[in-house]
Structure 1
Amino acid sequence: MMTPILEARHLSRHFGAIRAVDDVSFALAPGELLAIIGPNGAGKSTCFNMLMGQLRPTHGTVHLDGTDITHWPTRRIWRAGVGRTFQITATYPSMRVIENVQMALLSHHGRAFSIIPRARGLYRDDAMVLLETVGMADQAGRHAAILAYGDLKRLELAIALAHDPKLLLMDEPTAGMAPRERTDLMRLVAGIVRDRGTAVLFTEHDMDVVFTHAHRIMVLNRGQLIAEGDADAIRADPRVQEVYLGGGTLAL
């Protein structure tokens, strides 16, 4: 049996009497696109922050490739091959698109904090390959400050891929995007999963995005995992319809 890229075992995080995440267990395989959905306050972001080392679990463990990383600092987890994108994009607006990706590559190669007079000449070819992957090669010379929001999201994805992650955590990847931009970005992510074998765990509010692209879906409510399965199983689950969808039936 293949070792999961990521495995959470009885993961919990309490804030006083509030159980933001309560005994959640799941595994993520290489080349799998797994979505976490749930109403506001369900515990999605708290779960993400524990996986990336930004919060320490009250109980439970997190394993990466079979290694317990529960108490590792964030940078060590990143170095082990875990990338992340955020709901609010994090780029360098004053830099050109290619320079943003070059900075990520410099960091990946351990040269970000060196005084390098000719940094603009380093890893340009690698940066262009990544920009080609996300469909941004034609905008390599533009400043990030003038990019459309959907293009910023694609640039952020290229930055995350610069580290060649085996696991990518994406927090609300399509937030703030137009419907066509959402579709294009998630098709891109699905292609990366297929072609690179990268495992992707993402949170999302757009059900069209979730049901179209996720291989598997987890539903959280009040910190607890209440349902898990493919799109058809989640649509039909009465707990999801009652708790997450207000008792209605979800149909595309």
Structure 2
Amino acid sequence: MTALLQVTHLARHYGALRAVEDVSFDLAPGEIRALIGPNGAGKSTLFKMLMGETRPTAGTVSFEGRRITGLRPAQICRRGVGRTFQITGTWPSMTVLENVQTACLAARRRTFSLMGYARRQEVAPARALLGIVGMAEQAERPAAVLAYGDLKRLELAIALANDPKLLLMDEPTAGMAATERADLMNTVTGIARDRGMTILFTEHDMDVVFAHAESVMVLDRGRLIAHDTPDAVRADPRVQAVYLGTGLDAAALDDA
């Protein structure tokens, strides 16, 4: 099967600091993969390079066989890549519906100088997206009054407005209660399977990772040290050393 996303020898250096170093992997269409690692491992830096927010020091990123390295985030988004963030990015002064309408208008490259006119546009698609993420009943509420878990669902609806083929989710369940985390990820994986959408997400909650990811990659100090099934990654001594707290040294295990 042809890869949807191809990452080849990707690196990002800040002087002597090698935030990401020689990372290569492919993502297949429809795959749900987690990217894990301790704080400072380079996960967010890698995501920023995939989305064009940070220019790589070396390496390439290709999407559907076309190189996207060097493109701006908006250009990458238009190619079919969506993104959610650790800190939700919504418009608090707008209603839930208006937030998603705005995303739909942007996805279709339609801009209006008068918000009164814009409010009449993309209503049906926006309501449909809110229904998909379980937010239909809150459409008329201001985003500013939403609970944190609902903000995450709203952000998901906004990310889906462009009908992405690949969705990058950076810490999608951060700050949420256990039941909210499970509900959100069940929604995400259900949407992915219904649409054939590929998901790459970072996550610190191992229960979320092992319950929802079909495969798992592990970063340590900027390097990819493991990529396998959730069970195999859980049993990997290098992963246990750097992430699950055995106290062993991953570099020493590699040299053993």
- Structure 2 length as normaliser, TM-score? 0.94
Q: Is the partner of 1:121 in helix, strand or coil?
A: coil
Residue 45 of structure 1 corresponds to which residue in structure 2?
Answer: 44
* 2: CA distance, partners of 1:113 / 1:69: 29
1:92: which partner in 2? Answer: 91
Tell me which amino acid in the other structure corresponds to 2:151. Answer: L
Q: What is the distance in 2 between the residues matched to 1:181 and 1:73?
A: 33
Distance, in Å, in 2 between the alignment partners of 1:138 and 1:23 is: 46
Whether 1:17 and 2:42 are equivalent positions in the alignment is no
In structure 2, distance between residues paired with 1:72 and 1:93: 29
Q: 88-97 or 111-120, which moves further after superposition?
A: 111-120
Q: How does 1:102-251 map to 2 (within 5 A)?
A: 102-115=101-114, 117-247=116-246
Shift of 1:118: 1.9
Within a 5 Å distance, the mapping from 1:20-99 to structure 2 comes to: 20-99=19-98
CA distance in 1, matches of 2:192, 2:210: 16
Which residue identity is paired with 1:160? Answer: A
Q: Counterpart of 2:183 in 1: which secondary structure?
A: helix
How far apart are 1:112 and its partner, in Å? 2.6
Residue deviations 1:103-129, cap 9 Å, x none? 001111111354464211111111111
Give the superposed CA RMSD: 1.1
For structure 2, which runs of at least 5 residues remain unmatched after alignment? Answer: 248-256
Q: Distance in 2 between matches of 1:112 and 1:219?
A: 41
- TM-superposition CA deviations, 1:167-189 (whole Å, max 9, x none): 11101000000100000000011
- 1:190-229 deviations in whole A, cap 9, x for unaligned? 0011000111111000000000000110000000111111
1:56-81 Cα offsets, whole Å, 9 max, x none, are: 11111000001011111111111111
Report the Cα offset of residue 246 of structure 1.
1.8
Aligned position for 2:254: none
Q: Distance in 2 between matches of 1:20 and 1:221?
A: 10
The 2-side partners of 1:107 and 1:73 are apart by: 15
CA positional deviation for 1:245: 1.3
| 1:130-156 Cα shifts (integer Å, max 9, x gaps) | 000000001111111111100000000
- TM-score of the superposed pair, with normalisation by structure 1: 0.96
CA distance in 1, matches of 2:116, 2:87: 31
Q: Show the counterpart of 2:252.
A: none
SS at structure 2 position matched to 1:20: strand
- Paired residues, what number? 247
In the alignment, what sits opposite 1:101? 100
CA distance in 2, matches of 1:189, 1:117: 32
C-alpha separation between the residues in 2 aligned to 1:92 and 1:224?
Answer: 36
The 3-state SS of whatever aligns with 2:119 is helix
For residues 91 and 116 of structure 1, what CA distance do their matches in structure 2 show? 17
Deviations 1:30-72 (A, max 9, x none): 1111110000110101100100111111111000001011111
SS of 1:71's equivalent? Answer: coil
Q: Is the 8 A contact 2:112 2:118 kept in 1?
A: no
Shift of 1:3: 1.9
Matching residue's letter, 1:194: R
SS of the equivalent of 1:201 reads strand
Instruction: Structure 1 unaligned segments of length 5 or more: list them.
Output: none
Larger CA deviation: 106-115 vs 139-148: 106-115
